[in-house]
Homo-oligomer: A and B are copies of this chain.
Amino acid sequence: MGGNSLGSLFKITTWGESHGEALGVVVDGCPSRMELSEDDIQREMDRRRPGQGMGTSPRKERDRVRVLSGIHEGRTTGTPISILLWNEDVDSTPYDELKDVYRPGQADFTYQSKYGIRDHRGGGRASARETVGRVAAGAVAKKILAREKIELMAYTIELGGIRAEERDLEEVKKNSLCCPDKDALRDMEREIEDAKLQGDTLGGLVEIVVRGCPPGLGDPVFDKLEADLAKGLMSVGAVKGVEVGAGFEVARMRGSQCNDPLGPEGFAKNDSGGILGGISNGADILLRVAIKPIPSIRLEQKTVDRSMRPVSLQIKGRYDVSAIPRINPVCEAMVAIVLADHVLRQKAIA
């Protein structure tokens, strides 16, 4: 079990530690005869690289993917696709002094509690670097979705308390924070500068929209589409909340407001977020996730060591100010992986 696999028909298994030899993913259940190249995967991988967003660190991380199996003459063969990334030029010495310290907000204490041992170097398996396997698998999933004309996009709708009012998706690809609101962007950048100066980090919100999803995806009652999406997104380390459609706003709605009237041309509005009774209804699928601020801050913190003795901790090195926007393609990947699985599941019973 171990928990390192996701999916039923389109199934991924990730492995690897932040400062181990390598990280990777095995994608099983991908249909055959699909065009797929290392470049297709590399392109997605490059989107989560450090130095992509303004709030991100200039550290070099080459993330060059290698596809070791499952492709023959440029096409998938139906056998497992194994994708690997070496951890090159990793320097673990900065982590030596953290070997016996439990960093607040990190998984140090819980991994030690669960396993009685942990690879402390760079957060080990709990590192954000674990998501490279997800993004690689997401690139494969997107190929399956593309065959069905399903598209998706993640973008930043809040950062450091600054909310994007606009949803200009053209704008998303143009700016370094993947923000669909030019005005909000400027304020977000200012927040980042401020937090960086103070040695602190920022949280935010990411929205994911799926277009072109046909009605019929999702399996009641436990594998409801929103349930599987919630699991996929909540399995991303920094995510502390997931909502679909109107989300938490439904708490303040009455039924007469919340119900989406259905007309000959489809739904008049989309508070359901494209899912009813666990099954897609043909409208856009709309999801939102809450991203917590990165726990590694430069400010001094109070914590304990392995003997539960109080220690004062000051983390060195360069860290991102926010998981956003590097986490955006990870969210996209998770949604793509879950949807690809349900696309295949639906084919099985059609």
A residues with a Cβ closer than 8 A to B are: 1-6, 8-9, 11, 13-17, 20-24, 26, 28-33, 66-70, 72, 75-82, 84, 102, 104-107, 109-111, 113-119, 124-126, 130, 158, 160-161, 195, 200-205, 215-224, 226-235, 237, 240-264, 268, 272-273, 275-282, 290-297, 299, 301-304, 308-310, 344-350
The answer to whether A5 and B5 touch across the interface, beta carbons within 8 angstroms, is: yes
The answer to whether B14 and A2 touch across the interface, beta carbons within 8 angstroms, is: no
Closest to A260 in B: B104
A140: min CB distance to chain B, Å: 12
- Contacts A110-B277, A250-B291 aside, 10 further interface pairs with beta carbons under 8 A come to A1-B348, A5-B222, A26-B26, A104-B259, A107-B220, A111-B277, A114-B218, A203-B254, A227-B235, A241-B250
Q: How many copies does the complex hold?
A: 4
A86: min CB distance to chain B, Å: 9
The answer to whether A20 and B125 touch across the interface, beta carbons within 8 angstroms, is: no
Cα(A295)–Cα(B28), bound, Å: 28
For A301, the chain B residues whose CB sits under 8 A away are: 256, 259, 261
Cα(A6)–Cα(B1), bound, Å: 10
The answer to whether A119 and B255 touch across the interface, beta carbons within 8 angstroms, is: no
Known: A13-B26, A281-B110. A222 touches B6 (CB 8 A): yes
Known: A104-B260, A115-B77. A240 touches B235 (CB 8 A): no
The answer to whether A280 and B110 touch across the interface, beta carbons within 8 angstroms, is: yes
For A114, the chain B residues whose CB sits under 8 A away are: 32, 78, 215-218, 279, 346
For A296, the chain B residues whose CB sits under 8 A away are: 255
For A70, the chain B residues whose CB sits under 8 A away are: 15, 17
For A250, the chain B residues whose CB sits under 8 A away are: 203, 240-241, 290-293
What are 26 sample pairs from A and B whose C-beta atoms fall under 8 A apart?
A2-B80, A4-B26, A4-B79, A15-B26, A21-B67, A24-B68, A32-B117, A72-B124, A78-B349, A106-B277, A107-B279, A110-B216, A158-B252, A205-B251, A224-B235, A230-B233, A248-B248, A248-B290, A249-B290, A250-B290, A255-B296, A256-B297, A259-B301, A262-B302, A263-B303, A264-B304
